Amino acid sequence: MKGKLILEDGTVFRGQIFGGSNQTATGEVVFNTGMTGYQEILTDPSYCRQIVTLTYPLIGNYGTSKIFNQSYKSFVSGLVIGELCDNGSSSSMEKSLIDYLSMERIPCLFDVDTRAVTRKIRSAGTMKGVIVSEYTSQATIDEMMKLPIKRDVVTEVTTSDAYTIGSDDKDAPFVVAVDFGVKLNILDSMQRLGCRLTVVPAYTPAEDILEMNPDGIFLSNGPGDPKDVPEVVEEIKKLIGKKPIFGICLGHQLIALALGADTYKLKFGHRGSNQPVKNLQTGRVYISSQNHGYAVDEKSLRKLPLEVTYVSVNDGTVEGLRHKKLPIFSVQYHPEASPGPDDNLYLFDEFLKMMGK
């Protein structure tokens, strides 16, 4: 069935809706430049309430497999791609991408000029959009456009109950991981280092976390604007100086807010597995995987006890922070996503050493 992506400024991109479905989608339209990793993107909770455009022209050629899932389900609102491969091939393949999209009920618009979509977003910035069939009435489209995109989406992706995973050794490093939409690869990375982890919901009070007496606290990635969760920021303030803290992505931004810095929305965000970041201490450039639409304002750090450790080579934005006195550090990118493939895993080793001290 013919379909279209309509942006809030009226721009229309036409294609085919997967399977002849009349499914519709509403969300913030973003793009990802990764050549692979479409299943990880679909299951990354940080994409909650977003319509994701993949810039690579052929999607689905290696199918899908449970081992690549980053969460128990997909949270994306919709998928926009160029060519949809209906006959994937891989030794690990369990389902085709078409079967996976059907199972997860993800509206997919294909045969789209994704280069044009990307250029539009890069020039005009991210904006709301809808995926509809060609025959959807204008009245219905207008109603969809009027509906605001939900702001605090952390509540949709965080765990409802605390759970413990990892080493059974009582002497193993014990980490409390606060789940704002954590990716499974992050938890796996810490488990591989021998850690015992208790994963807690996003709104867990600081008192409850400290009562567990962890060796370290991890603040995870997650979707949305960090300023949409002021209650979380207040709880993080109570954790400052009490235990070593490591944050990734949204966790990085929340640490900055808790310490008095500011954040702002990027024009079109950083989303892809080929984002270069520079270590300001060594001068070395790392290729990183990223997925974020907000960044820490470097100007707001001038009078704070924080130093910038990494910056984006592309636009100079802050990619890492470290407290000058306390055992607290964070990165904006995803060291667990293996774009290097293992270049950035040393950050988990640093967290382990920090807990040891």
Catalytic residue among 252, 292, 323, 334: 334
β-partners of residue 84 are 59
Edge-first strand order for the sheet with 318-323 is 163-166, 196-201, 174-179, 216-219, 245-248, 328-331, 318-323, 306-312, 263-279, 285-296
The whole-angstrom separation of Cα 133 and Cα 117 is 18
Alpha helices in 150-249 (DSSP H): 154-157, 184-192, 206-211, 230-239
- Specify whether 270 is catalytic: no
328 HSE (CA, 13 A, CB side) = 25
- Looking only at the bridges linking them, the beta strands covering 78-80 and 50-54 are parallel
Nearest to 199 by CA among 15, 45, 350, 321: 45
Token pair listed for 54: 């993949």
Alpha helices in 11-79 (DSSP H): 38-42
Q: What is the 8-class DSSP label of residue 77? A: S
- Specify whether 334 is catalytic: yes
Catalytic residue among 249, 292, 319, 323: 249
Contact between 214 and 186 under an 8 Å Cβ cutoff? The reply is: no
- Specify whether 249 is catalytic: yes
131 HSE (CA, 13 A, CB side) = 31
Active site residues: 249, 334, 336
